[in-house]
Amino acid sequence: MDEEPISLGYTTQVYKSILATVGELLKCICCPFLCCQGGPIINVDQGFVGVLTEFGVFKRVLQPGMYAYNLASQTVQIVSMKMQVIEIPQQAAMTHDNLSVKVDAVTYVTVVDPKRAIFEVDNYPNAVRILAASTLLRVIAEHELQQIFTDRATLNSRLTSTMQEKTANWGLQVTSVELRDINIPETMQRAMAQIAEATREADAKVVVATGQQKAASIFAEAAATMEENPLSLQLQWFETLRQISNEKKSTVIVPDSVVGPLSSLTKRSGAKSSGDATSVDE
């Protein structure tokens, strides 16, 4: 019973040794063609790294450069270390106030540990896309429609922090998650437009009423002042008539009821001035 696993392990080691030897022979045979980049060589460009495995087991990370590897026993998988933009397709979501919206977003991701990005998650771009979509639906469901439009920065921060927490063990760094577009049904758009228009009309009425109230207060103060001094009312009449004559360029006939008090006041002022002059002469 115990001999079978031992023999199986020994056979595996033999096969591994044979494959490794064959691979090394191929590397030696292809050496003359390395100048033409022929044979089992691979170029790792700047901004990328290579994950080297031998018989499916991780060996090391290859930094940018050219490498020759054992074609029979080793494989190299290229991983981008640049910031990647992963688009989240449009999702139909329901807000906290039971309104239907369609939202899409974009996620900015950078690989910081290529070993984990390859071995801890299968197809990490697709995994990030699915996780971001589900997180987006959950966050939208926790906010009302008005909050989604006015507090977009808060939603972005919430999405980013949640994604960073979920992908911490994937060897990824989520820099940001941004809501890109928010669509609402056409009927809801018309209803929101009507509400906005009604709100603006109500605000306009409030502004007009406030202005009328202030004007009425000023007029009341002016009326009280004119009641104490009737001459000020006559002066206001003349000022109004002067403005009319300037604008219309016409002759204005003023009734004696308006001019009379002013003429009597002028006569009194003249008499007073004469009296003062006589007293000075004496």
CA distances from 254 to 118, 242, 282 (A): 99, 11, 41
pLDDT at 209: 83
Please list, in sequence order, all residues whose beta carbon lies within 8 angstroms of the beta carbon of residue 134, skipping any fewer than 6 positions away. Answer: none
Q: How far apart are CA 109 and CA 60, in angstroms?
A: 23
Whole-structure pTM value: 0.59
Average pLDDT on 52-67 reads 87
Greater pLDDT, 253 or 117:
117
Classified as helix, coil or strand, 81 is: coil
Domains of the chain by start residue, with CATH: 7-79 (no CATH), 84-184 (3.30.479.30)
pLDDT at 280 over 60: no
Within a 10 A sphere around the Cβ of 155, how many other Cβ atoms? 23
By C-alpha distance, which of 131, 121, 119, 124 is closest to 52?
119
Dihedral sign computed on CA atoms, order 177, 181, 184, 189: positive
